């Protein structure tokens, strides 16, 4: 499985005033994801694949107030609580699009996002998920049925997607191991060490370390 990120700048910032407390809440809303069209990263999400995953994410995350996102993408698929900036309050299908609405939270990263908005910074959203890719008959990478949405993050400079979606993040392979997502190579090292008996352990650890260094 690969870490898959997609950026979308077709969003808007809205403000809502709580009349009881006179406090302003900031929301970011618009098209968060799109199906059945080749995106700027050269990938296509079949409608059935994307909408089925959106349904699951709504039930398991949005409905339970667990749909958290970060300010900028981290280097992996998990959500880091110390970097959370917003919570998705709504995610729904509109034709081939997935419309979303997220509330910017009163967290350190949320405060940074709010200040960026106040200063007129152009922000976008970028989905982050896990899945495999397969070329279709047209030679386009098609996201497969194992796709799992992890989060939708707020990102800066939507006009430069390569700054967020290339390199190590998408080059790394990830696998499920006992319910935990691990980078594939690290997972393989872990399995090798676990299989070694006491007599082999020191030699196996040295072998794994040497192999790791050779790949840097």
Of 20-29, 31-40, 181-190, minimum mean pLDDT range? 181-190
End-to-end CA distance of the chain: 21
What lies within 8 Å, CB to CB, of 90 at 6+ separation is 29, 62, 99, 100, 101
Task: Give pLDDT, residue 169.
Answer: 36
Looking at the structure, do residues 164 and 184 belong to the same domain, yes or no? Answer: no
Looking at the structure, do residues 111 and 43 belong to the same domain, yes or no? Answer: yes
The active-site residue out of 73, 85, 127, 187 is 73
Among 62, 65, 112, 70, CA closest to 90: 62
Tokens coding 198: 């006491």
pLDDT above 80 (res 133): yes
Number of domains, the chain? 2
Looking at the structure, do residues 193 and 92 belong to the same domain, yes or no? Answer: no
pLDDT above 80 (res 92): yes
> Is 184:158 a contact under the CB 8 Å cutoff?
no
Task: Give pLDDT, residue 71.
Answer: 93
pLDDT above 50 (res 191): yes
* 138 belongs to the catalytic site: no
* 126 belongs to the catalytic site: yes
Looking at the structure, do residues 88 and 186 belong to the same domain, yes or no? Answer: no
Task: Give pLDDT, residue 213.
Answer: 46
Average pLDDT, the chain: 80
Looking at the structure, do residues 190 and 129 belong to the same domain, yes or no? Answer: no
Of 135-139, 180-184, 200-204, minimum mean pLDDT range? 180-184
Other beta carbons within 10 Å of 205: 14
Task: Give pLDDT, residue 184.
Answer: 64
**Domain extent for 210:** 180-214
State the Cα–Cα distance between residues 151 and 88, nearest whole angstrom. 9
Looking at the structure, do residues 61 and 164 belong to the same domain, yes or no? Answer: yes
Looking at the structure, do residues 186 and 160 belong to the same domain, yes or no? Answer: no
The active-site residue out of 85, 86, 126, 127 is 126
């Amino acid at each position: 499985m690969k870490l898959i990120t997609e950026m979308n700048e077709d969003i808007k910032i809205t403000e809502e005033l709580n009349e009881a407390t006179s406090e302003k809440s900031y929301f970011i809303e618009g098209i968060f994801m799109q199906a059945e069209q080749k995106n700027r990263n050269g990938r296509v999400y079949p409608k059935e694949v994307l909408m089925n995953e959106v349904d699951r994410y709504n039930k398991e995350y949005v409905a339970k107030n667990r749909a958290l996102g970060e300010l900028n993408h981290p280097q992996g698929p998990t959500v880091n609580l110390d970097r959370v900036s917003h919570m998705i309050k709504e995610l729904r299908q509109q034709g081939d699009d997935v419309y979303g609405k997220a509330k910017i939270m009163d967290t350190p990263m949320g405060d940074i996002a709010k200040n960026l908005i106040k200063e007129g910074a152009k922000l976008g959203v970028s989905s982050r998920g896990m899945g495999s890719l397969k070329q279709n008959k047209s030679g386009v990478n098609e996201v497969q049925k194992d796709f799992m949405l992890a989060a939708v993050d707020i990102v800066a400079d939507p006009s430069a997607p390569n700054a967020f979606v290339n390199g190590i993040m998408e080059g790394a392979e990830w696998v499920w191991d006992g319910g935990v997502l691990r980078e594939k190579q690290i997972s393989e090292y872990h399995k090798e060490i676990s299989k070694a008996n006491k007599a082999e352990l020191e030699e196996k650890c040295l072998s794994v370390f040497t192999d790791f260094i050779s790949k840097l």
